[in-house]
């Protein structure tokens, strides 16, 4: 198949008002999509857990980019595993089915790094996705999202429905979710350090022992990768989106403290969960299939995120 020309396409972006969604819409504009032909769903007005809402949302659309998710860090995954499983499975499964029934030309599903097995050889290769059960703290969310890959592959096989599945690593960047109840590690740590500085505290407390490693992808890079895949990728195999750069939580905290000029003590709460031991992606498939490589340097991206939070912290 030739690359999609987005110029005349009607495009639905679920979760388009969110942290990643706004960046995806900006990248769609850069790739030639017409602003007036892009539709965004918001959870308050369009609950995608209901089939009728999915059917209304996909009606008359050419492309669906499914970003909407009920998502959070380890804390939220521990407290609400059932909600995270149900909400993400129902949204995705019904939206894919409704899109197929409506004759949508292409469906782009954005999955999660949490779908990978707990002990996956590093760097994670897409072919290892089924070689074990995900890390327990986020398995319900990861399994729900991974089921959508199976659905898309089945619909391609039976109905010749063109659905693709992209797997971005942990995202970060300006406009991220900094709510301590549901945020991921980078915004959570930035907020902790900022609040310690505001109060004059001399220490911050961090979950786990600092040993796990993570890889982070700047939201603008992730959005660019998603749009590149939308335009040029039409195969059933999942594709990682990442940087290939791995950093330990301990080194991440040290770097955030350095960039924020916080010289207090870091106390590791070793009775709290670490999450998956290591996370780092093999990014070769994205490069080969549609030419995507990350561009934003991690330290620069982190500084941009810190600067944004400082400007917007209440």
Is residue 21 a known part of a binding site?
yes
**Bridge pairing between strands 163-168 and 203-207:** unpaired
pLDDT tens per residue, range 221-255:
999 999 999 999 999 999 999 999 999 999 999 99
* Domain boundaries 11-173+216-246+278-295, corresponding CATH code: 3.40.50.720
**Annotated catalytic residue 141:** yes
Q: Is 280 helix (H, G, I), strand (E, B) or coil?
A: coil
122: phi then psi, degrees, rounded to nearest 5: -100, 135
The model's pTM is 0.93
Q: Give the pLDDT score at 293.
A: 97
Is residue 170 a known part of a binding site? yes
**Would you say 123 is a known binding-site residue?**
no
Q: How far apart are CA 172 and CA 308, in angstroms?
A: 12
Query: Does 207 appear as a known binding residue?
Result: yes
Query: 194-225, pLDDT tens digit by residue?
Result: 999 999 999 999 989 999 999 999 999 999 99
Instruction: Using pLDDT thresholds of 50, 70 and 90, give the confidence band for residue 74.
Output: low
Q: Where do the structural domains in the chain lie, given as residue ranges? A: 11-173+216-246+278-295
Catalytic residue among 100, 141, 194, 309: 141
User: Within 13 Å, how many C-alpha atoms sit on residue 224's CB side?
Assistant: 15
Q: Is there a binding annotation on residue 184?
A: yes
Does the pLDDT value for residue 138 go beyond 90?
no
Instruction: Give Cβ neighbours of residue 284 (< 8 Å, ≥ 6 apart).
Output: none
Q: What is the pLDDT of residue 77?
A: 67
The yes-or-no verdict on residue 75 having pLDDT over 90 is: no
171 is in an annotated binding site: yes
Among positive and negative, which fits the CA dihedral 4, 7, 176, 75? negative
């Amino acid at each position: 198949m030739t690359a999609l020309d987005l110029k005349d396409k009607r495009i639905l972006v679920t979760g388009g008002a969110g942290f990643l969604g706004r960046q995806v819409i900006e990248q769609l504009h850069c790739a030639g999509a017409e602003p007036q032909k892009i539709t965004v769903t918001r959870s308050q007005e369009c609950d995608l857990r209901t089939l009728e809402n999915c059917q209304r949302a996909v009606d008359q659309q050419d492309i669906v980019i499914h970003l909407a998710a009920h998502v959070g860090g380890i804390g939220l995954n521990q407290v609400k595993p059932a909600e995270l499983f149900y909400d993400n499975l129902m949204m995705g499964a019904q939206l894919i089915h409704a899109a197929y029934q409506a004759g949508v030309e292409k469906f782009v599903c954005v999955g999660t790094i949490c779908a990978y097995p707990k002990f996956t050889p590093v760097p994670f290769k897409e072919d290892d996705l089924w070689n074990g059960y995900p890390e327990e703290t986020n398995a319900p969310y990861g399994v729900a999202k991974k089921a959508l890959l199976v659905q898309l592959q089945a619909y391609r096989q039976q109905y010749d429905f063109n659905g693709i599945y992209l797997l971005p690593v942990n995202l970060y960047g300006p406009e991220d979710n900094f709510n301590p109840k549901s945020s991921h590690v980078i915004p959570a740590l930035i907020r902790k350090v900022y609040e310690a500085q505001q109060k004059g505290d001399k220490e911050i407390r961090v979950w786990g022992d600092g040993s796990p490693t993570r890889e982070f992808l700047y939201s603008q890079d992730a959005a660019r990768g998603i749009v590149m895949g939308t335009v040029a990728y039409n195969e059933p195999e999942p594709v990682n989106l990442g940087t290939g750069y791995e950093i330990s939580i301990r080194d991440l905290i040290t770097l955030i403290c350095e960039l924020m000029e916080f010289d207090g003590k870091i106390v590791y709460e070793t009775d709290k969960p670490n999450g998956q031991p290591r996370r780092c992606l093999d990014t070769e498939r994205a490069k080969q299939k549609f030419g995507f490589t990350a561009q934003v340097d991690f330290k620069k991206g982190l500084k941009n995120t810190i600067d944004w939070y400082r400007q917007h912290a209440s």
